[in-house]
Each structure stands twice: as structure tokens, then as C-alpha cells.
Amino acid sequence: MIREAILYLITPKTPLAKKYGFLYESIGLQARFERVKKHWLPHLKNCQDVFLESLQDLPQKKSVVILGSAHLHEIPLHLLVENFEQITLVDVIHPWRHHWLAKRNPRLKLVTQDLSMILENLENLKNLDELRAYLKKISDKELFYFKADLIVSSNILSQLALLPMSAVEKKIKKNLELSEKDEISTVVTEMHLKNLKNCEGKKLIYCDRKVIYKDPQGEIIYEGFYPVSFAGFKKVKEWMWLLAPLKEASNKYSIEMKVEAYEA
């Protein structure tokens, strides 16, 4: 707890990222990783294998951009340094360690950016209809654009809509229906894919496509899936990820993810 408190104080953050919990979630993610790393190892290896395979047909390896870089659990920094001259990490919160490294290594650049373009307007969204209207308003806008030899969307698709939906739930003082959450998640995901396609360079995306909750006996008690089209992308691999073993998130269930990887 002391370590987490120190990181909370020293990690650079924007006021909005702090207000809406991105810093807290970032520190919590690292703590979870350290607790369940052995369960994540197969998932991490799959991510790294897909990344290394994506390098095989690159005409050059001067630059790479990682969208949703977080702590670089899936693609360790040493793999980026070994394979690219310039490395750009993009996220709302960058761990303190990455700030420290970026100051000492000119090859590493940190970009602090909300890839959904929703964060700065959360305060003005009072209900679900206003969130829907705002998403429609920005649906044709350029949310982000990067140019690099390789651009990686790093396991963030299902995360992009979580904060906006949580903020709306707090304001209306009730939980959104599953159908409403699926609707918003699908819209935000499609916007991300559209902007990723418009970036210049080879694209690699890996993301969870299905969540599965299992009881202590291993029986499935819930499956969730958000429908979205990956038209224009080629599926290259899929695997299962034990995100939270029994007793990590709850004594009543474990959480598994079906992860899929695509290229364009």
C-alpha cells in the first residue's frame, strides 16, 4: 500500500486523468499483474509472438507506435528497443518508470492522449442520450492519427467505453442495461478501428472479444461479447487469457477472455 501511495503521488498525470480514475486504475493494473503474473504468462507470450511475427514483412523498422501502452506488459520495452529506432507510447497515463526512461533515452517518446476523445467532455454528459449524441457528433472526426512502420493497438478496445459508461451511471444513479453497454461499446470500438485504419503504416491489433465468467466448479455462469466488424483487417491468431483466477476478482468466479489478433 505504501508503494502504491508513493506512485500515486509521483506519477505525472493530467487533472482529468486523476479525476476520472485513470491513475488509480494504472497503479491497480500493475499490482494485479504482480499478483497473477504466472496466470498471464501464456497470454503475454502470445502477444509477443504475434508482435514478432508482424515484423517479418516490414520493409523497414525505423518507428513503432503503441496505442494503449500502459505498463507494456504485453510487449516489453526491450523488444521495442531491439527492433525499432524510434518508439512512441500513447496513453492517458504513463507509468512513472516510462517517464524516467524517456528523459534518458531520446529514442523513446511519450504521448499523453485520450484516444476516444470522450474524456474532455465527460463533465458535460448527463445521461445516456447525451453520450449517444456526443458519439454521433464525433463519429466522423479524426480522433487520432499516427504514421509509423508499425502501429499497435494494444488490448484497449473493450476499455475505451468503460469510463464514459461508468460516469453516466453515476450521474443517473443506476446501472446501464447490458444491451445499452453493448451498444455504446460497439460504437466506440468501431470509431477506434476506423481511425486506426486511417493511420499510415502497418497495423496490428489484439483485443479481448469475449469475456467468460466461471464458478468455482469451472461451469460457465456468464458470457459477454460485443459485436463489431473487423472488415479490412486479417485475423492472425486467437487464444484464451485467464485474466482473473478464482479469488482474484471474487471468491465466486474466475474471469477468462478470448483474445483475437488482426493485421492490416
Q: Encode pLDDT of 189-235 as tens digits.
A: 999 999 999 999 999 999 999 999 999 999 999 988 878 889 999 99
Beta bridge partners of 235: 262
Q: What's the pTM?
A: 0.91
237 Cα distance to chain centroid: 18
Number of residues that this document lists for the chain? 264
Would you place residue 10 in the very low, low, confident or very high pLDDT band (cuts 50, 70, 90)?
A: low
User: What pLDDT is stored for residue 31 in this prediction?
Assistant: 81
In CATH, the architecture of 2-205 is: 3-Layer(aba) Sandwich (3.40)
Compute the C-alpha angle 89/191/200, nearest 5°. 50
Instruction: Say what percent of the chain tops pLDDT 90.
Output: 64
Q: How many helices (H) and strands (E) does the chain have?
A: 8, 8
> Residue ranges of the domains in the chain?
2-205
Contact by Cβ (8 Å): 65, 88: yes
User: What pLDDT is stored for residue 232 in this prediction?
Assistant: 92
User: What pLDDT is stored for residue 87 in this prediction?
Assistant: 98
Question: Where are the extended beta strands (E) located within 51-170?
Answer: 63-67, 86-91, 108-112, 147-154
* Of the candidate ranges 71-75, 172-176, 184-188, 216-220, the one whose mean pLDDT is the lowest: 172-176
240/243 Cα distance (integer angstroms): 9
How do residues 68-127 score in pLDDT, each as one tens digit? 999 999 999 999 999 999 999 999 999 989 999 999 999 999 999 999 998 888 888 888
Burial (CB count <10 Å: 0-12, 13-18, 19+), residue 151 = buried
Distances (CA, A) of 258 to 43, 190, 224: 10, 19, 10
